[in-house]
Amino acid sequence: MKSIRRTNRWRGISGVALLAGALGVLFSRPLVLLSGVVGVAFAAYARTAGTPDPDLDVTRTVSDDEPLPGDEVRVRLTVENVGDAMLSDLRVVDGVPDALPVVSGSARLGTALRPGKSATLTYSVEAERGDHEFDPATVIVRDFSGAIEVEQEVESKTTLRCVPKLGSTVDVPLRAQTTQYTGRVTTDVGGSGVEFHATREYRPGDPLSRVDWNRLARTGEVTTIDFREERAASVVVLVDTREKAYLARDDESRNAVQYGVDAAGKVVTKLLDAGDRVGLASLGPESCWLAPGAGHDHQARARELLATHPAFAPTPSGETFYPTTRLKQLRKRLPASTQVVFVTPLCDDFGPEVARRLDAEGHLVTVVSPDPTATDTPGQRFARTQRKHRVSKLRQAGVRVVDWDTDEKLGVALARTARVIGGVA
């Protein structure tokens, strides 16, 4: 795509030059007359100058096309003049993806370029989770006078694929809603396990290892010891990806959705490693759903979705969000007796409402809430106060909330919540 336009750089110069020439003649001032002649000459040149016809080739290379999140990737863009004309004023702006911040160097270049010569710009970006395709480089060429400029895009296909490792050391304090499968969540059901639950009358077939031999020796009564059974949980990790959730403390900080997706990856990995059945879902304009499952293949699928699915993009999609429709779809998909780990910044009243509704429908909810608020201005302090009020109201309603200050590690916030609750509820 090419566009040609006049810059109006010399607009009005003809009138000024003619006025200067007339004054020079009128007052017999040769220098004034000469300046008028020069001005007329420049104006005439600008009007008669031909339109530049650049013929450029662009090559982009990156130091690593599959980096990990947070890695610095060096980008090198080379522009070659493969035409026959001298380009006296060449400006280049590389098409850096919105989600990749430039951390060093500049993605812009201004130079002159002879035929057969090339110029190079280098800069570094910080890798962010997801697939990132570079846009075409934008090239602007002006003629020698600067009166006419030609803008065009030059394609050089480049894609960065950033898939984080989901290794996790966090301990997720799940609630006591479980499946029939053996796992690590302690229940109030008596049976085999490690934590004492109660004693009962001996029934034929009870294992000898669970007979209370001390009581038999003391009273002659045969009883069986029941332990608290440990079962697997069925969990869906739900990430709030509405446009309103893309809040950040400032322009340089990561937003709450980026923190939320990172947290979701750690939670999914930990629960799957512990033997729980785990699913994944988004609550936003883009729909993503992975039914609860287990195993290495399921974990790889969850990792791929978190890294590359448009629903979890580090920038808003710009699509319209229909809350009633999305919530209805989610409720239909959630299996019975499935817990929900809802990752949301609690930036408005919609997040708490979703948590309360799901909890009321029998899906025990744990909210993991990255805090994107700041305290620099009165408005920011008010937003932080509102968010704290939402956290408090949810806890009063019986919903467990992990209030995560993103200046600390997620594991610290989860461990603090586990200590407060003192066990599974």
End-to-end CA distance of the chain: 61
Kindly indicate the confidence band of residue 144, based on its pLDDT and cuts at 50, 70 and 90.
low
- pLDDT score of 237: 97
pLDDT over threshold 80, residue 36: no
Average pLDDT for the chain? 83
Quote the pLDDT of residue 214: 75
Each residue of 206-225: pLDDT tens digit? 676 666 767 667 776 777 67
Residue 143 has a pLDDT of 74
Distance, in Å, from the CA atom of 79 to the CA atom of 285, rounded to the nearest integer, reads 39
15 pLDDT band (50/70/90 cuts)?
Answer: low
The pTM score is 0.71
Task: Give the Å distances, CA to CA, from 83 to 79, 166, 197, 220.
Answer: 12, 49, 84, 104
pLDDT tens digits for 352-367? 999 999 999 999 999 9
Nearest to 365 by CA among 408, 319, 389, 330: 330
Helix axes 13-26, 30-48, angle to 10 degrees: 160
Q: DSSP state, 211?
A: B
pLDDT of amino acid 298:
94
* Of 64-78, 116-130, 156-170, minimum mean pLDDT range: 156-170
pLDDT tens-digit profile of 259-285?
A: 999 999 999 999 998 888 999 999 999
Q: Give the model confidence (pLDDT) of 301-348 as tens digits.
A: 999 999 999 999 999 988 999 999 999 999 999 998 899 999 999 999
In this predicted structure, what is the pLDDT of residue 274? 85
Predicted local distance difference test score (pLDDT) of residue 233: 81
**Distances in Å between the alpha carbon of 411 and those of 157, 198, 266, 340?**
39, 33, 9, 19
Which pLDDT belongs to residue 193? 46
Give me the amino acid identity at 300. Answer: A
Question: What does the pLDDT read at residue 290?
Answer: 96
Residue 176 pLDDT class (50, 70, 90 cuts):
low
Note the pLDDT of residue 22: 63
Q: What is the pLDDT of residue 1?
A: 63
54 Ramachandran zone, left/alpha/beta (phi>0; psi -120 to 50): beta
pLDDT tens-digit map of 376-401: 899 999 999 999 999 999 999 999 99
pLDDT of residue 119: 95
d(CA 404, CA 109): 42
The average pLDDT across 66-77 equals: 93
Contact 305, 205 (CB under 8 A): no
